[in-house]
Amino acid sequence: MKNKTSFPPQEGETRPSRCPDNTAFKQQKLPAWKPQLTIASVLSSFFLIGTFCLAVGVCLILSANSVREIKIDYSDKCSDCSKLRENSSNWNKECHCSVNFTLKEHILGDVFMYYGLQNFYQNHRRYVKSRSDAQLLGRNVNIQKSYCAPFTTYRNGTPMAPCGAIANSMFNDTIDLFYNIKSAAVKVPLLKTGNSWWTDKNVKFRNPESHNLSSAFAGTARPPYWQKPVYLLDEEDERNNGYLNDDFIIWMRVSAFATFRNLYRRVRHVRLFADGLPAGNYTFRISYNFPVTKFKGRKHVILSTVVWSGGSNPFLGIAYVVTGTAATLTGFVITAIHLKLRKKKTYFQK
């Protein structure tokens, strides 16, 4: 190969410059705000941020602690039903159990009922992807091309509706609440609709278009672990069926942690329960269907109120307190360093 030799420019010739053009943009001459970080501005920022976060954190923690909550673990109290459900051949056998508890004080205001699961990992990548959003929008799609496998079709080719591991593992215990008064059990009226997010109910989920749901889901079959088809999830309310069932929509919103709770019901304010739940003896009557022994899980039922900041979770308040404490301590450390350096500078000047 021949070496290329560069020669100096001849007289009258100009070498092209590699410098950027002399413009306001390329030479960074545009007007800009450049903060001047002085010791006063830095310290005041740290202390103001620390004070604000501490105040907000304390308010959030106090608010979370004011929530009235009762949590009952019924995993062991329904052990007979649990043993029955561990055998998959008993899927069509019903099993009921009861759990008694006492409210020493009234729970006023809106009362929410949750079911809680422990050691149930919904955050596995394959589990999270195992669904067909197009199918849940009521579209006629080929679920074989989705991520629902192995819960797509049966051996005879009948497609599952809904498909996927999330839908197949849906929580299906039935929980009723009774108020025991004067040797009689009064069933507490519970609302099972209006519990899901508006965006889920009106945007992310749709039923197939047809004159009735049974014909809309014709040619499909329920998931293997379900006891009834999707169009019969709520036999009392036709509007709460199919992919628009509130319990189904809430379950399809997977949790990031292994221990979580989902909203199940709300107490309806009528008759004896117009102001909430009165003090007294209560009973949970549970139709046990959801097995948890194989993955060493636990099941809870929770009665809780809410406040302006939400439920009883103090995490956000603790996060604010930690952030405020860190900012305040950083401010004190910077102050100490500044005083020490200023003292040394004064000494050397003398």
Would you state the pLDDT for residue 145?
Answer: 86
Same domain? For 60 and 98 the reply is no
Same domain? For 58 and 111 the reply is no
In a domain, 7, yes or no: no
Are the C-beta atoms of 163 and 131 separated by less than 8 Å? yes
Would you state the pLDDT for residue 14?
Answer: 63
Same domain? For 155 and 196 the reply is yes
Same domain? For 148 and 173 the reply is yes
- For 303, residues 6+ apart whose C-beta sits below 8 A from its C-beta are 69, 70, 107, 111, 112, 113, 277
pTM of the model: 0.81
Count of other CB atoms within 10 angstroms of residue 130:
22
Same domain? For 220 and 301 the reply is yes
Would you state the pLDDT for residue 30?
Answer: 74
| Rg of the Cα atoms in the chain | 32
Would you state the pLDDT for residue 279?
Answer: 93
Q: At 73, which helix (H) or strand (E)? A: strand 69-73
- Interhelix angle 315-349/39-65, rounded to 10 degrees, is 160
Same domain? For 106 and 226 the reply is yes
Same domain? For 47 and 140 the reply is no
Rounded to whole angstroms, the Cα distance separating 313 from 301 reads: 16
Range of 47's domain?
Answer: 43-67+312-327
Low-confidence ranges of the chain (pLDDT < 50): 1
Give the number of domains in the chain.
2
In a domain, 246, yes or no: yes
Q: At 51, which helix (H) or strand (E)? A: helix 39-65
Would you state the pLDDT for residue 168?
Answer: 95
In a domain, 9, yes or no: no
Same domain? For 283 and 148 the reply is yes
